[in-house]
Each structure stands twice: as structure tokens, then as C-alpha cells.
Amino acid sequence: MIRFVARRIATSAIAVFGVVTIIFVLARLVGDPVALMMQPGMTRADVAALRHGLGVDEPIPQQYFHFVIGALHGDFGISPWQSRPAFGLVMDRLPATLQLTVAALGFATVFGIALGTMAAARPGSWIVRLCDAISMTGQAMPNFWLALMLVLLLSTTLRWLPPAGYGHIENLIMPTLSLGLFAMSRLARLVQSELEAALRQDYVRTARAKGLSEPVVLLRHALANVAIPLVTVLAVDFGLLMGGAVVTESVFAWPGVGRLLIQAIGQRDFPILQAGAFVIATIVVMTSLIADLAYAVLDPKIRHA
């Protein structure tokens, strides 16, 4: 088990290093960041100070070395937009993004598993048709369009919820629905198909022959074997939700990392963009590491292999 964990941690460290390298390359493919960030009236001294602050006044190999060392220490330079360390600005917004992401994933998990389980338990019923309709609709609708429709219906027309804001539970409802519906649709479809396959297996027929009730057979025996593919999809969906939060936060004025990145694009603030991309990518890599460790707990054959 220790060797298994050590291999996964080493793989995650390599992935984080690769993320840092990709961010460095992409930031320089768009051209000279100083030329993009120059404002009218800047003097040569201002331009020189901006180049030094961004670390682009050195040879490329030296820039890369300093960028990697700085990234590993959380130093991405000073934001010219807000005159504060870029990494600190991103970390200040991170709790709001994690709150929205976890809420959306929790909504998707609870309702996706419940809907998929009911559809698998009652084949041919109206629940199956409902599950199919929600799955197709949820995966077809862009989350930004759904967000706008929720604002139009629940806020503008019915006046049940505030259109935007942060800090109260009612502010979280519409962003959670718009962000989590896609993941819920995927989970419902996955659970339904996996359970339908599990319910045809011999061990399920044996459990029924022993006289176990249908809920016990369904939840304790069949659903337990869906755990590994379910963990896989949850880990992937967490990363997708972190990325999807960029648009959702902008629609609902949610003060998270996504909204900060959109604002930084408008201000051509490269330090914030690099710090935000690094933080989000690192969290996604760590989520994949946790999923790998969960595989080993759920199925000992994986860690022995």
C-alpha cells in the first residue's frame, strides 16, 4: 500500500510540474505580455519596471527557472491591475469557488445516484423515461444558457431568488443548479446503466435466493459494485465543475476565482491568469490523486496489481 501511494504521489508531482511548464509556454505564445499590458502615458522607466516585475527582462531559460521556483513557492509576481501578489488574490477568491463547486457536486451526486437507482430498479417505468429526458436535456444545455434562464424565471419573473450576490444560502441555489445539472445528468445515466448490468449478475440472483429484500440487494450488493466507476466520474466532474465555474460565477456575480480570471483577461493581468490556472490545475491533479487512493481502498486488487 505504501508503494502504491508513493507511486501516485510521484505521478501527481510530475503532473503539477507539467502544468507549471505549460502555463509558462502558453503565457509566452500570446506575444510580449508587456506590450499587451502597456497603458497610454507610460514612460520607459515604467515599462522597464513592468518587465522586471513580470520577470521577462531575462533570458528564456533563466525566466523558466525563476518561474518554476516561484510557482512552487506561490510567487507569480505582482498584479499590475491591483498592485498585490497575484497568488494571494487567487487564494482569497478560492474559498468561494470551492464552495460553489462542492455544492454543485453534492447536488449532482445525491440526485444523480437517486435518479439512476430508481430508474434501474424499475425498468420500463415512467422513472426511466424521466431519467432519459433529464440526462439528455442536462448534457445538451450549456450552463451559461441555463444560468440565464434560471435568472429570468426564478428571479425576474417569479421573484423567488436574488439574481446575484454572495453570502446567503439563497444566493447559492441558482449557481448550484446551473453548474451541477450537467454532472447530475452524467451520474444518473452512469448509475442506471451500471446498476442494470449488476442486477443481471449471478451474485445478485444468489442474494435474492437467500431471501434478502430488494432494497438490501439493490443498495448493499448491486450499488456497491458501482463505486469504482462512480469515483472516476466524480473526480472528472470535479475538474469540469471547477472550469465551468468561470462562466457561472460571471453570470451570478459570484466572487470566486473564475470571475477574477475573467476580470484579469479584460485587464491583461498575466500574473493573475498564471496563478489562477496553476491553482485550478493543481486542485484537479490532487483530486485525481485522491480518486486513485480511493480505488485502492474500494478494490484491493488494484493496489496489489
HSE toward the beta carbon, residue 234, CA cutoff 13 A: 23
| CA proximity to 284, closest of 247, 244, 248, 235 | 235
Average pLDDT, integer, range 108-136: 89
By CB atoms closer than 10 A (0-12, 13-18, 19+), residue 275 is: buried
Q: Which three cell numbers stand for residue 104?
A: 454543485
Task: Give the residue extent of every domain in the chain.
Answer: 86-267
Q: 26 phi and psi, to 5 degrees?
A: -65, -35
Predicted local confidence at residue 301, as pLDDT: 62
What span, in angstroms and rounded, lies between the C-alpha atoms of 271 and 87?
8
Q: Specify the CATH number of the domain 86-267.
A: 1.10.3720.10
Residue in the block written with cell 475538474? 239
- Cα dist from 271 to 29, 88, 102, whole Å: 15, 11, 26
Q: Please, which residues bridge with residue 78 across strands?
A: 85
Residues with Cβ < 8 Å from 80, sequence gap 6 or more? 37, 50, 53, 267, 269, 271
Task: For the chain, give the mean pLDDT.
Answer: 84
Q: 211 phi and psi, to 5 degrees?
A: 95, 10
pLDDT tens track for 19-76: 888 888 877 776 667 777 777 778 888 888 877 777 777 788 888 888 888 888 888 8
By CB atoms closer than 10 A (0-12, 13-18, 19+), residue 211 is: exposed
Average pLDDT, integer, range 288-293: 81
pTM assigned to the model: 0.84
Average pLDDT, integer, range 70-83: 83
HSE toward the beta carbon, residue 220, CA cutoff 13 A: 8
- Supply angle C-alpha 86, 99, 254, rounded to 5: 65
Supply the DSSP string of 31-59, one letter for each residue.
Answer: --HHHHH--TT--HHHHHHHHHHHT-SS-
Q: 85 phi and psi, to 5 degrees?
A: -55, 130
What span, in angstroms and rounded, lies between the C-alpha atoms of 186 and 138?
8
Predicted local confidence at residue 304, as pLDDT: 52
- Cα dist from 231 to 18, 192, 235, 291, whole Å: 24, 15, 6, 6
pLDDT tens track for 234-286: 888 888 888 778 888 888 989 999 889 888 877 777 888 888 888 888 888 88
DSSP secondary structure code for residue 252 in this structure: T
At residue 104, does pLDDT exceed 90? yes
Predicted local confidence at residue 19, as pLDDT: 82
- Rounded percentage of the chain residues whose pLDDT exceeds 90: 20
Q: Which three cell numbers stand for residue 289?
A: 490523486
Q: How confident is the model at residue 110 (pLDDT cuts 50, 70, 90)?
A: very high
| CA proximity to 105, closest of 6, 184, 21 | 184
| CA proximity to 178, closest of 118, 104, 243 | 104
Predicted local confidence at residue 93, as pLDDT: 93
At residue 173, does pLDDT exceed 90? yes
Predicted local confidence at residue 305, as pLDDT: 54
